[in-house]
Amino acid sequence: MLAHSLRSSATTAIRANAAVSIQQLHEALLTIPSLPPSLCTPPLPISSPASCQQRVPAVRSMATLVDEKRLPSKFGGKYTVTLVPGDGIGREVADSVKEIFEAIKAPVQWEQYDVSGETTGGEALFQEAMDSLKRNKVGLKGILYTPIDQTGHNSWNVAMRQQLDIYASVVVCKSLPGFPTRHADVDLALIRENTEGEYSGLEHQSFPGVVESLKVSTRAKAERIARFAFDFAIKNNRKKVTCVHKANIMKLGDGLFLNTCKRIAEQEYGHTGIKFESMIVDNTAMQLVSRPQQFDVMVMVSFLYGAICSNIASALVGGPGITPGCNFGREYALFEPGCRHVGKDIMGANKANPVALILSATMMLRHLGLETQANLIAGATYDLVREGKVRTADLGGNASTTDVTKDIINRIL
């Protein structure tokens, strides 16, 4: 009954606009000697009594790696967050998040910008959204469509990361209790460099029929993402960091990254007890689909490697509809689904799974220090998936986006 009691206490606090700290919840857990140590790592998603015995945290903790001094300030008791719903199903799943936040009276107000990658002439609105992100320092976004043809604009998803220097992409792929997949006990985090590598955007046609696309790698950014990966592992109770590379072929570019990771691991984090290993990217893809449990934190300087590996890992645990993600920089944080699928084929049909964006929003709440609200939403969401009565089509059910949203709200209130 512990989880039920904690949820009731948290709900009461929300309704009374009182602040219940995660430290209080953690101390309450520690007073129960029968609980295994794995359930005493804060912050934990609060679950129902039925699932408490078998559940492990879907995210062991999402401790922010941003200095508290750089977090946004409250105005009128609320944080202002930039919201970019994105294309395809973006508006529908963003509405789901807004309804849930409103229901629990989360101290968040939105500045919404309906930027679209499908329309031309949207540069002015995109820049307004960027100015809002710079002002608010935190944002929640769906996926913006990027045209493939040469006449289309460059990716605005990439432009956001580069302009704000939100250099670290984090995608968490975790087996959810109650939703069986081919592989059980998957629990890994993929960390990739957002601002260079193949996604530097430097390509040109040097001669008709000859195209040069530059992959830029620097020691400074390799060091930065390597340190981020180890710091993430430390703060989130993870035990191993795997450097994913192709240094056997790209001896200079990926070789620089591999050697940098080795040096950082030995010289700066050797005393932490975190294990370091390296793996060639093509072998990594094979190992992910054959034995994913061997991975804990995976770090790569190539956004291309990360995009492929994160989609593979997401498929192992249920797909893009339940995979959360976030992006961190020195000053800014942007939260979005972990797999970049626009969902144009089900746009407007009320069939989209909002769980990925909902869980990304709970990461955002933890980033803002709103642990109570994050635990309420995450716990209700995990219970919904575990029980299996309300599931969208991608998870084998027939529920609508609206059904999922209402069920989560009803579980909380």
Per-residue pLDDT band for 48 (boundaries 50, 70, 90) equals very low
Per the confidence metrics, is the pTM higher than 0.85?
no
Region 347-368: what's the mean pLDDT?
A: 96
Is 53 a residue whose pLDDT tops 50?
Answer: no
Alpha-carbon distance of 110 to 136, in angstroms, equals 10
Percent residues over pLDDT 90 in the chain: 65
CA–CA gap between residue 274 and residue 39 (Å, rounded): 21
Domain ranges of the chain: 200-305
Output the six-digit token pair for 51.
Answer: 């699932």
| Per-residue pLDDT at 412 | 95
pLDDT digits (tens, 9 = 90+) for 99-112: 999 999 999 999 99
Mean pLDDT value of segment 122-148: 90
Q: What is the pLDDT at residue 162?
A: 84
Structure tokens at 379: 């716990």
- What is the pLDDT confidence band of residue 159, given thresholds at 50, 70 and 90? confident
- At residue 385, the pLDDT reads 95
Query: What are 259-268's pLDDT values in tens digits?
Result: 999 999 999 9
**Confidence band (pLDDT; 50, 70, 90) for 116?**
confident
- pLDDT of 154: 66
Q: Would you state the pLDDT for residue 344? A: 86
How does residue 270 score in pLDDT terms, banded at 50, 70 and 90? very high
User: What average pLDDT does range 52-80 have in this prediction?
Assistant: 60
Whether the predicted pLDDT of 19 surpasses 60: no
Lowest model confidence (mean pLDDT) among 113-122, 306-315, 319-328, 349-358: 113-122
pLDDT at position 151: 52
Local confidence band at 150 (pLDDT 50, 70, 90 cut-offs)? low
Output 59 or 357, whichever has higher pLDDT.
357
Q: How far apart are CA 265 and CA 190, in angstroms?
A: 17
Mean confidence (pLDDT) of the chain? 84
The pLDDT of residue 124 is 87
391 vs 23, residue with greater confidence? 391
- Looking at residue 56, its pLDDT comes to 34
Question: Pick the residue with more confidence: 64 or 364?
Answer: 364
User: Of 165 and 146, which is predicted with more confidence?
Assistant: 165
Is the pLDDT at 401 greater than 70? The verdict is yes
pLDDT at 83 (0 to 100): 98
Euclidean distance between CA atoms 166 and 274, whole angstroms: 25
> Would you say residue 376 has pLDDT above 70?
yes
pLDDT greater than 70 at residue 121: no
Task: Reply yes or no on whether the pLDDT at 44 is more than 60.
Answer: no
Q: How many Cβ atoms from other residues are within 10 Å of residue 248's Cβ? A: 12
| 200-226 per-position pLDDT tens digit | 777 888 889 998 888 889 999 999 999
pLDDT at 118 over 90: no
Taking 70 as the threshold, does the pLDDT of residue 23 lie above it? no
